[in-house]
Structure 1
Amino acid sequence: MKRKVVLKALNLYKSYHLGRIKVPALRGASIEVMEGEFVAIIGPSGSGKTTLLNILGLLDTPDSGELYIDGKSVIGLDDDELSEMRLWKIGFVFQHYNLIPILTALENVEIPMILAGVSPKRRIARARELLKMVGIPHLENHKPTEMSGGQQQRVAIARALANEPSIILADEPTGNLDTKSSEEIVSLMRNLNREKGTTFVVVTHDLDVARKADRILRIRDGKLYEVDNL
């Protein structure tokens, strides 16, 4: 059975203004991601990786270009429509985890489901299932300050999966972790990808992380290029 395209961007352009200076970040970037793929995007600091991910995740808008999530064009959608799309179609994993410090692991994972209107009974059961899936069911009542960086990132991954999104976008997900924790987080994401069919797009400067992907793209001069080997 042919896999569907879950993410497609064509000819994205984005510039920023620093005073009177116009700084181009993307100069015609295009990408197509199939359902169940694990794609890595690499490039040096300042190359536009995070700008690209923010646009793909509907956190920012391009100056021009086309963007489709699950076959639907998202260019021109209003704020409410974009929020709805982010809630159901996209999961985010950040370098700094972005967990709410006063909430437990379980409560952090519940947040997307609260926003989606899921009943308390269902969301608690789902959150526990996800914490078990990422290997930390015993930490459900722990707050972020009571967890290691790797454990916090596992909570963040569980939260990203809460509403069963079409795609997970991860921005330097191992950037704050030691080598052992980094390897564990990459293995976790790859296992979720292989066993659950979860689609991942991972932005990273870590070539060891990139080598674990099905496909590697390099961002250079604001465009994306396929990488055959590293």
Structure 2
Amino acid sequence: MRGEVVLKAVELYKSYHLGNVEVPALRGADLEVRRGEFVAIIGPSGSGKTTLLNILGLLDTPDSGELYVDGESVIGLDDDELSEIRLWKIGFVFQHYNLIPILTALENVEVPMILAGVPPKKRIKRARRLLQMVGIPHMAEHKPTEMSGGQQQRVAIARALANDPSIILADEPTGNLDTKSSEEIVNLMGTLNQEKGTTFVVVTHDLDVAKKADRILRIRDGRLYEVESL
């Protein structure tokens, strides 16, 4: 249901150790994201943005705090349980696309569905529909090296949507793109959010991305603060 809480973080703390030095990344970060929201998180390099996103995506664990995905506490779950939640509930979009170079666009989009045990005919049909949705059905049989950066990022977004996750987490999704491609990806995410109700949490330096968001949060000193305007 649109508006229900799909992701909730309470008092997240995370520090790293460089030799004998403890470097705090998160110092009590709180976050609540509702279904259908587009939330942007901004902040300077080293402010903890990527650490936060990795914890929200269950790729890293906090030192302390609570984290809920679709109302389920994920703290203390084992690796298999976390993998299952990532597979079904969380889609990822990365700055460097992270496509598998030997696979076509269609095959890359199929990967999460293969892991989820979706039958071949059904997953191929859905992969083609997703490539249509992100505007590149004609690239289905092309490999990443045969695509522009913007096209690769569209494939990555289609892949993130493959198992109809509760939320898409994007880490600098326009960071490697030229201005035109960046604008197209920003518009695509906005359209998916507005027309399909896709929930996005986007870490970004790109103010054009942030301006698409329903809410903008700034991370500072390991905590999140609401931004009224840019």
Shorter-chain TM-score bucket reads: over 0.9
Aligned residues of 2:13 and 2:25 also touching (Cα < 8 A): yes
Q: Report 1:1-230 matches (<5 A).
A: 3-230=3-230
Letter in 1 for 2:220: R
CA distance change for structure 1 residues 218 and 76 in 2, over 3 Å: closer, same or farther? same
Q: Deviations over 1:29-75 (max 9, x none)?
A: 00000000000000000000000000000000000000000000000
Letter in 1 for 2:116: A
CA distance change for structure 1 residues 213 and 82 in 2, over 3 Å: closer, same or farther? same
Letter in 2 for 1:137: P
Question: When the two structures are superposed, what TM-score results if normalisation uses the length of structure 1?
Answer: 0.99
SS at match of 1:211: helix
**Distance of 2:168 and 2:148 partners within structure 1:** 22
Aligned residues of 2:67 and 2:75 also touching (Cα < 8 A): yes
**Distance of 1:117 and 1:52 partners within structure 2:** 30
Letter in 2 for 1:94: F
Considering only aligned residues, what root-mean-square deviation do their CA atoms show, in Å? 0.8
Aligned residues of 2:11 and 2:27 also touching (Cα < 8 A): yes
Q: Deviations over 1:116-159 (max 9, x none)?
A: 00000000000000000000000000000000000000000000
SS at match of 2:96: coil
Q: Deviations over 1:162-199 (max 9, x none)?
A: 00000000000000001110010010011001111110
SS at match of 1:50: helix
**Offset, 1:207:** 1.3
SS at match of 2:212: coil
Letter in 1 for 2:64: S
**Distance of 2:24 and 2:3 partners within structure 1:** 34
SS at match of 2:226: strand
**Distance of 2:18 and 2:206 partners within structure 1:** 29
**Offset, 1:209:** 1.3
**Distance of 1:215 and 1:161 partners within structure 2:** 22
* Runs (4+) off by over 6 Å: none
**Distance of 1:219 and 1:141 partners within structure 2:** 40
| Residue ranges of structure 1 left out of the alignment (5+ in a row) | none
> Percent same amino acid at aligned positions?
86
| Residue ranges of structure 2 left out of the alignment (5+ in a row) | none
**Offset, 1:202:** 0.3
Question: When the two structures are superposed, what TM-score results if normalisation uses the length of structure 2?
Answer: 0.99
SS at match of 1:122: helix
